[in-house]
Structure 1
Amino acid sequence: MPVNSLENKMLGVKREPLKLHFLLVTVTLLAGCAGGSGLPVITPSEALLSPGQALKFRARGAKGHRVWFVNGMLEGSPATGTITNHGLFTAPSAVNPASLDAPVQVSVVVNGAPSRPVPVSLFLPDKITPGTISSTANPLVASYTIAAPEGASVQVEFGPDTNYGRTTWSQPAPDAGGAVTLLVAGIRSSSIYHMRAVVQLEDGTQALDADHVFTTGAVPANRLPTITVNQVAGPAAPSGIELLSLVYPGTGNQLTAVATDLSGNVIWYYDLEPGEWPFPIKLLPNGHMLLVATDNGTGMSEVREIDLAGTVINRISPNEVNSALTSIGASVQEGNFHHDVLQLPNGHVILLGQYTKPFNLPGLAPGTPIIGDALVDWDPKQRLPVWTWSSFDHIDITHAPFGYPDWTHANAIVYSPDDGNLILSMRNQNWIVKIGYRDGAGDGSILWRLGPGGDFTLPSGEAPIEWNYGQHYPTLLGPNTAGIFPLMFFDNGNNRLVDANNTICGSPTAISCYSSVSIMELNEYTKTAQVLSEDKLYSTCCGDTLVLPNGDMEFDVAFDQQTPGISYIQEVTQEQTPQLLWQMNIAGQVAYRGLRIPSLYPGVQW
């Protein structure tokens, strides 16, 4: 039966008369009645069904108990279509285009007598074609392409067998339909994986591509980080993956920008040039990665945006930024980018760079270059700076807890969505500061300084030992619309003052230095701070901390003095006495950051 003639007789289904792939569904009614003669009349006599569409079959003239089957199976199955004992047939909701030519036979038994068959065609638009898989420059990433119609979206299921288990995110088809390509990442080296595209049609039904087999490439064992994991039995296994920014590789050209599963297996990496470190690397909302690539030998750096295969989508160099700053008459310049980079909700990028100026300061040679920090709001589309900030304009040059020339040493930038301002961690100032950015309309004024000698006060008896010293990675844990909010950070504790006499920790008469994973509640109006929780250890450098969706805390201890040469990342409960649930040890490299993320795809939880 021609498809168009079937389409013209569809029951209330209006579809454009395209050339279609179709599956012929032969409906055979076995009907009769005791003592009767002739065959019952079946309605409808022909029909065209899309995936998931339902159609009621009737058998006029046939009386008695009816039992319906699909492919000989009572009431059918989701794979072939189902039918009720009242004759309501529902086509499969997910269809493999490669199987559209295979007939499905629907039958009914009424007192054991047969009747004539009724054909039904199951169709998909011809813009869906079987997918193809190819390798990429990254041996742990596959490229999966499938054609899909307008209004459809595609995601890929993948795993070690046909149960799959993981998915990519979903991406839309082009406006007029056409090829959709997804990079499939999150797979181990030298392994066999099964992959299958799922095409979600505009009407809510699905089409399943055939299963494909992909073998990942090899990664030399001497390039893999040395990672071990200790999983402590708990109420539930942790979920997600770890995104690691590793620096100071111990031997050879070890990988430095990697993602691992929670057993410590590398499932993705970006291969930087020998000697380059990710300082750090982050997952963006568009599925790309953003990193500061820093050359350990030369100190040169650039900001790169890459896709999961490692293709560079965008790069920003200090030379380009400084040329643009000069062209607009800006007073600041960016030295090497370092320690962090931040993408804003509008797509702009906040660049953090060293900024050096000469000063005449007591105890230093005249004109000694002092290293501060500059922030630049960079529009990557226009390739222009739209806002700048300099530590020299807003911080007292004589405030130098760590001395000179490395005066400020900023290491993290946070965007505050409730007021459009920026929060900057300045390690060598022992301060976390809030900067009046106001989404590019602010004058850069320091709104507050958190830390010893800053603008906040602690409850009586807690200062100065409970302040933050040499801190890293502040994180907002809640909205600050009311000016009262919790702020979490890794307090490294370098040069911690332990009493009112400004005694420094670690000195002969003082307590030992320690680090802490701290949560402080800040009141921006009364300028008071209160320590809500802390977990004490000691790491002189680096580190991060965050609260996981299940309420546990995770933190990265990069330089534990008791375990030299090993960085470790822990997941612990938030209790008065925290319980260790999971720990990753990294030997021979320093984990500048190690962060739990849901998956390599925004909005997808593994």
Structure 2
Amino acid sequence: MKKSWKISLGVILALIIIGGATAYHKRHNVRRLLLVHQHYHRKNILSENQIKLNLRPALSTKHTTATNRLSAAYKSQLNDLKPGSANAKVIVNPYKTSPLSGLILVKTQAATKVKVTVHGDTPATTITKHLKGYHTTHSVGVLGLYVNRTNRVTLQFTKENGDKSYTMTTHGTPKDIGKNTLKTSKPQKMALGKGNQRLTFAVSSQGTTYGLDANGQVRWYSTAPISHVFKRLSNNHLLILTKISASEHKYNALRETDFYGRVYRQYNFSGLFPTRKDHSKLATNTVIHHDAIELPNHNLLLTVDDGSSKYVEDTMVEINYKTAKIVKVIDLKRMLPKSAYTQFDGTHRPDGKIDWFHQNSMVYDRKRDELIVSGRNQDMIFAINYKTTKLKWILAAPDKLPKSYHHYLLQPRSKHYRYNGGQHAVSLIHKDTHQGNTLALEFYNNNVPVTRGKTTQSKQWSAGEIVSINQRHRTVHQTWSFGKSLGKRNFTNIVGSSYAVGKGNTLIGFGYASKGKRSEFVEVDRKTNQIVYDVDRTGFNHGDWSYRAQRMSLYPGTGSVGLKKITPTD
């Protein structure tokens, strides 16, 4: 009887396993069928449900679990320490993907406040951070170590006698960073922030993202491959676009992390899309391609390929921050002229798909609930009401734009206004304080007209620019531009950025200078047009030019490394 019972149980388990496997394969085959035979809203425009099926975002806990284990181990080590700065435990690269970061675990007899100093080669490259609060157990985060040297780090305790110095030894930088040559540095005029905590980050197109100090020295980099997206969230974490696994070719993982390499969330995307030549065949594609921003409700708005067999880089999706569910789809083919995508011949891709818009950036105007969008291949910046997705205005030359759209065009206030061409990195100046109907918009003008606005000056230089837009009267005029004086040497056919960074300065990233052989990072005083910081990057792999240059603080938060368990839904 007992033997018979065991046999019956074994048969049941086998049937469950076989049934589960069969169901999985059926679901897999059904999904492949739905991808191949796509459902269209109208000709060449996918339905929203089809787009959601194509992208299929999902939360992944693999890396958060690894983070939790390391945090738990460090917390246990901290608890086991005896009080006294001499008993501290020093850890380099605590979360395995940030080699120039560290962690110092230490206990004090009395509740003590801590100041951490990473000693630099000069006063302007010495990084300091005052940690908040008085504690007896301290998990002190250390950021801004130099590569390939023994770094000196000092902790100053307010209720103990004297300071305590520690050493942290690091190794060399990855070769694919290339060579960074400092041409100009005037630290007293740079926007370096309190304690010199702000670095210049070279955001990779596809490779290694790193941060430079005022001397042009590497003080942070990530071993996680990063492509295009490197943003600070409202909780002071970082949002990066990386790979699901090291063996993947495409960047289809959106990760919430920090400068230490801890992982808080990761969203994985399926990029299995029909090919252009044979719709019955599927190939892995990039889903998120150029930008991602956080909305006021903390949801994420992403520029995506929607899975079409014909068109790319013309769709946005909003995903729920906690669940990864797609809650909004914005297909630009539904709001811009049909002729823009059906008659486009400005660029050509190896896979045959049509990149008619090439959305490369966006910024949300919280005051007006408006989204401002940049599309390289239409030489166009436009604004929509985010709730209704209705067009508000268009900044572009009128060439090839149907007359039915001309009433959206911003009218230049000057006779010889030079329109943007192939622009990148649109952003708002003082976006929380701009008044009334006027806003100041900054962007990087590649000056390479793809569809409209060609002039005799086209392709002679690229520039960071600021324009003033009156939305009520639909007028525009340029208030600042820098780049013409640098000439054709800094003309960039693709990529680039221009961001206000404080002190009235702007940091410009000429990412594809000298036909992609150089990237140059230039900080300029907008009042005087004086260059206060200038670094040339050379010797990097083809395709790994710096997509953007960003000035960001290493210590936007407390500076202490919280060692509590972190779950994907925190």
Return the TM-score normalized by structure 1: 0.62
Query: What is the aligned partner in structure 2 of residue 528 from structure 1?
Result: 475
The amino acid that maps onto 2:507 is E
The amino acid that maps onto 1:595 is Q
Query: What is the aligned partner in structure 2 of residue 190 from structure 1?
Result: 148
The amino acid that maps onto 1:264 is G
Query: What is the aligned partner in structure 1 of residue 377 from structure 2?
Result: 428
Query: What is the aligned partner in structure 2 of residue 414 from structure 1?
Result: 363
Q: Distance in 2 between matches of 1:289 and 1:346?
A: 17
More helix by share: 2
Q: Structure 1 residue aligned with 2:250, among 294, 299, 305?
A: 299
**Offset from partner CA, 1:143-191 (integer Å, 9 cap, x none):** 1234589998755333269x99423463567xxx774423211110233
Q: In the superposition, relative to structure 1, how do residues 511 and 238 fare at CA in structure 2: closer, same or farther (>3 Å)?
A: closer
- Count, aligned residues: 426
The answer to whether the 8 A contact 1:183-1:308 is kept is no
The answer to whether the 8 A contact 1:321-1:385 is kept is no
Larger of the two Rg values belongs to structure: 1
Alignment of 1:281-430 (within 5 A): 281-293=230-242, 298-319=249-270, 336-357=287-308, 369-400=310-341, 402=346, 405-430=354-379
Query: What is the aligned partner in structure 1 of residue 184 from structure 2?
Result: 231
Q: Structure 1 residue aligned with 2:416, among 446, 459, 462?
A: 462
Q: Distance in 2 between matches of 1:557 and 1:348?
A: 31
The answer to whether the 8 A contact 1:127-1:149 is kept is no
Q: Distance in 1 between matches of 2:537 and 2:458?
A: 29
After TM superposition, give the deviation of residue 471 of structure 1 in Å: 0.6
Query: What is the aligned partner in structure 1 of residue 536 from structure 2?
Result: 585
Q: In the superposition, relative to structure 1, how do residues 339 and 503 fare at CA in structure 2: closer, same or farther (>3 Å)?
A: closer
Query: What is the aligned partner in structure 2 of residue 568 from structure 1?
Result: 520
The amino acid that maps onto 1:397 is K
The answer to whether the 8 A contact 1:412-1:472 is kept is yes
Counterpart secondary structure, 2:554: coil
The answer to whether the 8 A contact 1:141-1:216 is kept is no
Alignment of 1:22-41 (within 5 A): none
Structure 1: gaps (5+ residues)? 1-125, 200-204, 249-254, 323-333, 359-368
**Offset from partner CA, 1:443-488 (integer Å, 9 cap, x none):** 222222221235211135325xx11111101121133441201111
Counterpart secondary structure, 1:428: helix
After TM superposition, give the deviation of residue 307 of structure 1 in Å: 2.5
Alignment of 1:4-43 (within 5 A): none
The amino acid that maps onto 1:267 is R
Query: What is the aligned partner in structure 1 of residue 128 from structure 2?
Result: 167
**Offset from partner CA, 1:27-72 (integer Å, 9 cap, x none):** xxxxxxxxxxxxxxxxxxxxxxxxxxxxxxxxxxxxxxxxxxxxxx
The amino acid that maps onto 1:133 is V
Q: In the superposition, relative to structure 1, how do residues 179 and 503 fare at CA in structure 2: closer, same or farther (>3 Å)?
A: closer
Q: Structure 2 residue aligned with 1:222, among 169, 175, 182?
A: 175
Q: Distance in 2 between matches of 1:226 and 1:245?
A: 15
RMSD, matched Cα: 3.7
Q: Structure 2 residue aligned with 1:494, among 445, 448, 458?
A: 448
Counterpart secondary structure, 1:443: coil
Instruction: Please say if 1:519 is aligned against 2:466.
Output: yes
The amino acid that maps onto 1:134 is I
The answer to whether the 8 A contact 1:458-1:528 is kept is yes
After TM superposition, give the deviation of residue 554 of structure 1 in Å: 2.0
Q: Distance in 1 between matches of 2:145 and 2:495?
A: 28
More strand by share: 1
Structure 2: gaps (5+ residues)? 1-80, 193-197, 274-284, 349-353, 399-407, 560-570
Q: In the superposition, relative to structure 1, how do residues 581 and 385 fare at CA in structure 2: closer, same or farther (>3 Å)?
A: same
Alignment of 1:51-70 (within 5 A): none
Counterpart secondary structure, 1:392: helix
The answer to whether the 8 A contact 2:421-2:453 is kept is no
After TM superposition, give the deviation of residue 343 of structure 1 in Å: 2.2
After TM superposition, give the deviation of residue 491 of structure 1 in Å: 0.9
Counterpart secondary structure, 1:462: coil
Q: Distance in 2 between matches of 1:541 and 1:133?
A: 43
Q: Distance in 1 between matches of 2:453 and 2:369?
A: 38
Counterpart secondary structure, 1:398: helix
Q: In the superposition, relative to structure 1, how do residues 223 and 494 fare at CA in structure 2: closer, same or farther (>3 Å)?
A: closer
Q: In the superposition, relative to structure 1, how do residues 264 and 503 fare at CA in structure 2: closer, same or farther (>3 Å)?
A: closer
Alignment of 1:54-133 (within 5 A): 130=85, 131-133=88-90
Structure of greater relative contact order (alpha carbons < 8 Å, 6+ residues apart)? 2
Instruction: Please say if 1:134 is aligned against 2:91.
Output: yes
Query: What is the aligned partner in structure 2 of residue 5 from structure 1?
Result: none
After TM superposition, give the deviation of residue 413 of structure 1 in Å: 1.9
After TM superposition, give the deviation of residue 270 of structure 1 in Å: 0.8
After TM superposition, give the deviation of residue 221 of structure 1 in Å: 6.1
Counterpart secondary structure, 2:338: coil
Q: Distance in 2 between matches of 1:560 and 1:512?
A: 12
Q: Structure 2 residue aligned with 1:143, among 103, 121, 126?
A: 103
Q: In the superposition, relative to structure 1, how do residues 448 and 486 fare at CA in structure 2: closer, same or farther (>3 Å)?
A: same
Query: What is the aligned partner in structure 2 of residue 477 from structure 1?
Result: 429
Q: In the superposition, relative to structure 1, how do residues 212 and 434 fare at CA in structure 2: closer, same or farther (>3 Å)?
A: same
Q: Distance in 1 between matches of 2:535 and 2:268?
A: 34
Q: In the superposition, relative to structure 1, how do residues 348 and 129 fare at CA in structure 2: closer, same or farther (>3 Å)?
A: farther
Counterpart secondary structure, 1:371: coil
Counterpart secondary structure, 1:278: coil
**Offset from partner CA, 1:531-555 (integer Å, 9 cap, x none):** 1122224211111112232212221
Q: Distance in 1 between matches of 2:145 and 2:419?
A: 43
Q: In the superposition, relative to structure 1, how do residues 530 and 207 fare at CA in structure 2: closer, same or farther (>3 Å)?
A: farther
Q: In the superposition, relative to structure 1, how do residues 238 and 351 fare at CA in structure 2: closer, same or farther (>3 Å)?
A: closer
Q: Distance in 2 between matches of 1:565 and 1:146?
A: 46
Q: In the superposition, relative to structure 1, how do residues 310 and 473 fare at CA in structure 2: closer, same or farther (>3 Å)?
A: same
Counterpart secondary structure, 2:270: helix
Q: Percent identity?
A: 20
After TM superposition, give the deviation of residue 234 of structure 1 in Å: 8.5
The amino acid that maps onto 1:283 is R
Q: Distance in 1 between matches of 2:185 and 2:152?
A: 31
The amino acid that maps onto 1:579 is Q
Q: In the superposition, relative to structure 1, how do residues 178 and 298 fare at CA in structure 2: closer, same or farther (>3 Å)?
A: same
**Offset from partner CA, 1:371-409 (integer Å, 9 cap, x none):** 242222222223323333221222223125636710111
After TM superposition, give the deviation of residue 596 of structure 1 in Å: 2.1
Q: Distance in 1 between matches of 2:213 and 2:495?
A: 22
Q: Structure 2 residue aligned with 1:445, among 358, 370, 390?
A: 390
**Offset from partner CA, 1:313-361 (integer Å, 9 cap, x none):** 2111223999xxxxxxxxxxx9610111112344322122112446xxx
